[in-house]
Structure 1
Amino acid sequence: MISFFKLSKWSPPRILMVGFAAIILLGGVLLSLPFATKGGSETHIIDALFTATSATCVTGLVTVDSGSHWSLAGQLIIICLIQVGGLGFMTMSTLIAIVLRKRISLKERLILQEAMNQSSMEGIVRLIRKVVFYSLAIEFAGGLLFALRWSFDMPIGQAVYFGMWHAVSMFNNAGFDLFGEFGTPFASFTRYIDDPIINLVTMALIVLGGIGFIVMSDVIEYRTRKRLSLHSKVVLSTTAVLIGVGAIVIFIFEFTNKATLGSVGWDGKLLASFFQSVAPRTAGPNTLDLAAMRQASQFFIVILMFIGASPGSTGGGIKTTTFTTLIAAVIAMIRGKEDIVLFQMRLARERIFKALTITILSLALVIFVTMVLSTTEDQAFLKILFETTSAFGTVGLSLGVTPELTVFGKIVISLMMFAGRLGPLTLAYALGPRAEKELYRYPEGKITIG
């Protein structure tokens, strides 16, 4: 492993923050060079850094179209950043160490624990092996299915390249696409609104990348273990409910909108409704024109983006477990229950406090950035809120605001993507002073609530 980690006295959150920042800086410099563009001209450093941040933070917001602007070299740089950003640079470093048969130190295990959002170091290296194996296997399978479908639309070599490239992008919940190469920049998957293969494969990749590697491992080993952990039960049930409710809401709101679902058949309506319910789970592709959707649908997507994916996944947001914990706490309070119980298991109070802390910090960050951008960008408020939440949740969906951002707006959104990828709590730990143990406790007081 890298000796820097052995010598450093920094906390794991700070090492993660600096590591991601270094990867973004390197990617930005490479993308700004002439060889990375199709025209052979230099890309403005702000746009290059914005793209590198979006790729490393697996977001998908872009100021230049990926298919028409970047050369083959530029596209390969982007997909490498997506892969490293999705799995985490510490995961990649650990993989190299395992291949070279290097010993994983305690310090490095602590960093991996933080990166994978684990409560303990037990089995962390074994989990990393599973993460890499599952990721590569799923990406290859998804890429193969994409390639077979696109072989009917383009030469076989290009179909294979497009298939593998987009499989990596979708599984890592990045949302980058190359379809601007066919003459319609920022088109995403709109040409495949009623294509069952493209829709189902893309949704499967997004969901698998978004549920988290712990859940994936739990499900795969269910046949031998005959049980699922509480974490997996919560993630799977919450994911299913959010996708189902999201599809129903979008279907109802957009059913008569001729600019979206109103102009397609029943098959297209159902596929597009489910697709646009899955995509806000931090993925980013779209088959509907988001700017043409009704404001009710756009605001509902903002809520889905804020919730995001699950812990230990390639996605962002406050996470499904945080959302479910808060809902369970509200229900318990209304019913007058002292304990918060999920699947007949009681949650510890520190879990509740952590969920509340993450939600309040995230909400405060989204509100603050939205207010700032509302004064610097000439855009409607809902569009700015949508863009800000998309950046925080590392989603990548946009109402067309991204290419029109000012330099200041691009910098702010870049920082928002960075904060969303690390998580507000990890960022707070990284930037804050080292925690010290309290030597005494104050007497308990009472205030009136509600």
Structure 2
Amino acid sequence: MSRSPRIRAWRRSPQVTVATFAILITLGTAMLMLPAASQTGTATDFTTALFTAVSAVCVTGLIIVDTPAYWSFLGEWVILVLIQIGGLGIMTLTTTLILLVRQRINLRVQLSAEAETKAWTLGDVRRAVLGIIGFSLLFEAVTAVALTLRFLAGYGYPPEQALYHGLFHAVSAFNNAGFALYSDSVMGFATDPWIILPLAFAVVSGGLGFPVWIELWRRTRTRRTGAGKRLSLHTRITLWTSGVLLAVGTVTTTALEWNKAGTLGPMSIGEKILSGFFHSVVTRTAGFNSLDTAEFQTQTLFVTDMLMFIGGGSGGTAGGIKVTTFSLLAFVVYASVRGESAVHVGHRRLARGVERQAIVVALLAIGTVFVSTLVMMTITPFTLDQLLFEVISAFATVGLSTGITADLPAAGQYLLCLLMFAGRVGPITLASALALRHTTRRFEYPEERAIVG
């Protein structure tokens, strides 16, 4: 299988991925520099246009200018198109990678897995791409309708404005981008469940990933026939870990900010829970904020850092190291503590290669965040809490900020651009390289153990 022309061609996919996103960012930057893209009718400077284009294509949501105040209708539509293309591109590339990795499994194991999970094969790439587009448009349409109706009935927006705002925020939410047409993001709707819950629905839907949704959809279709009784390991890990992290984020945020005057303090109990829940949702790399992040306590910022770093599901629009990576590392630690020679998850033995991939992805991400934070502390006057939050938000393509993004020096903003690009494209290229590269050594050296701990 590794010798087929198709596989050899797809081994170059990491380079193609980087080049494609770089070209899209270049085109977006050029469009945003047009005088017609700004409210004032003057050309936008290169740094602002580049930062906004990178943030949109990488579906992050960090901004250095106020989106509704600075960009014209054309500029907002350029941002919206970049978000949609960037989100679809990420889902398509990661889903194709999953299919490609499955195809490289030996035939006996692959047939067994397909009999159980109805997994797709490499020949279904075209169907997968069409499915991604269809699912994306469906979730975005449902969210857009809900938001449009609320803007019409609850806020008296004219129909065309309600539709535009509903569509923009639906696309931004499903793609986990976090761009908003309000200067305070969605803080003005913090206590309105008819706005907050549809946004949360779209964020979670996009963050779980297309492979999870297609498997759940197939399960509902085959339940009548008794087929597909067990979900795949990937889907089970994604659903369980996402649910646990969502609950942990809700409880910790609500508890830590319960009496804080600048955040949850003035709200009723129901409003506090709703706001805590939404903040936990958006830490999965969505970028919207219904609370003033700059007012958070240090403990809340730290919890948010951890949730942002983990991110969402593979094959979706979320960033971070992914919940599967985090969970697999936890299982590796658990097996090591028990002294087991192999890692078993959900009645399945984890491949050694997958363990190494999870460790490499996590350690490189930690190293990137550490070094970038150190550089930011050197070139800016802000505190460690603020800079660590900003760096993780950029690398995990979240988009949340304590309000310092626009005040960073140009060097700091360029560094954030690199982090957003690396955080969005890097895990894909790294996973591709690790999954598709297999080298057999012709000899091994004698074994020797080093002292650990």
Matches within 5 A, 1:240-259: 240-259=243-262
State the SS of the aligned residue for 1:88: helix
Aligned to 1:393: 396
Aligned residues: 420
**Alpha-carbon distance in 2 for matches of 1:353, 1:53:** 30
Deviations 1:254-312 (A, max 9, x none): 11111111110111101001001110101100111011010100011000000001111
Find the partner of 1:221 among 218, 230, 234: 218
Aligned to 1:212: 209
Aligned to 2:44: 43
CA contact (8 A) 1:148 1:159 kept: yes
Find the partner of 2:274 among 271, 283, 294: 271
Deviations 1:8-38 (A, max 9, x none): 8981101100110000011001101101011
Matched AA of 2:286: A
CA contact (8 A) 1:210 1:314 kept: yes
> Taking structure 1 as reference, are residues 6 and 310 closer, same or farther at Cα in structure 2, changes over 3 Å only?
closer
Please state if 1:380 is matched with 2:380. Answer: no
Aligned to 2:63: 62
Aligned to 1:130: 131
State the SS of the aligned residue for 2:452: coil
Matched AA of 1:329: V
Aligned to 2:18: 17
CA contact (8 A) 1:38 1:68 kept: yes
**Same amino acid, percent of matched pairs:** 40
**Alpha-carbon distance in 1 for matches of 2:143, 2:278:** 16
Find the partner of 1:233 among 236, 239, 242: 236
> Taking structure 1 as reference, are residues 233 and 115 closer, same or farther at Cα in structure 2, changes over 3 Å only?
closer
Q: CA deviation at 1:126?
A: 1.7
Matches within 5 A, 1:107-186: 113-114=96-97, 119-120=102-103, 121-151=122-152, 152-153=154-155, 154-180=157-183
Deviations 1:37-91 (A, max 9, x none): 1111111111100000000000000001111111111111101000110010794
**Alpha-carbon distance in 1 for matches of 2:11, 2:449:** 39
Unmatched 5+ stretches in structure 2:
1-5, 104-121, 223-227
Please state if 1:367 is matched with 2:364. Answer: no
Q: CA deviation at 1:335?
A: 2.1
Please state if 1:28 is matched with 2:29. Answer: yes
**Alpha-carbon distance in 2 for matches of 1:135, 1:351:** 29
State the SS of the aligned residue for 1:326: helix
Aligned to 2:302: 299
CA contact (8 A) 2:95 2:315 kept: no
Aligned to 1:85: 86
Q: CA deviation at 1:427?
A: 5.2
Unmatched 5+ stretches in structure 1:
92-109, 181-186
Please state if 1:324 is matched with 2:330. Answer: no
CA contact (8 A) 1:358 1:425 kept: no
Matched AA of 1:132: I
CA contact (8 A) 1:88 1:115 kept: no
Matches within 5 A, 1:365-444: 365-424=368-427, 426=429, 438-444=441-447
**Alpha-carbon distance in 2 for matches of 1:413, 1:423:** 14
**Alpha-carbon distance in 1 for matches of 2:218, 2:431:** 35
Matched AA of 1:213: F
Aligned to 1:71: 72
**Alpha-carbon distance in 2 for matches of 1:162, 1:363:** 37
**Alpha-carbon distance in 1 for matches of 2:355, 2:418:** 28
Please state if 1:289 is matched with 2:296. Answer: no
State the SS of the aligned residue for 1:163: helix
> Taking structure 1 as reference, are residues 428 and 372 closer, same or farther at Cα in structure 2, changes over 3 Å only?
farther
Find the partner of 2:185 among 182, 185, 188: 188
**Alpha-carbon distance in 2 for matches of 1:27, 1:89:** 17
Aligned to 1:354: 357
Aligned to 2:198: 201
**Alpha-carbon distance in 2 for matches of 1:375, 1:162:** 40
> Taking structure 1 as reference, are residues 116 and 363 closer, same or farther at Cα in structure 2, changes over 3 Å only?
farther
Deviates more, 1:120-129 or 1:231-240: 120-129
Aligned to 1:183: none
Deviations 1:344-401 (A, max 9, x none): 2221111111100000000000001110011111211111100000001100000001
> Taking structure 1 as reference, are residues 202 and 9 closer, same or farther at Cα in structure 2, changes over 3 Å only?
closer
Deviations 1:193-218 (A, max 9, x none): 11111111111100000000000111
**Alpha-carbon distance in 2 for matches of 1:377, 1:424:** 28
CA contact (8 A) 2:94 2:314 kept: no
Find the partner of 2:312 among 305, 309, 314: 309
Deviates more, 1:73-82 or 1:438-447: 438-447
CA contact (8 A) 2:13 2:432 kept: no
After TM superposition, the score normalised by the length of structure 1 is 0.89
**Alpha-carbon distance in 2 for matches of 1:406, 1:89:** 30
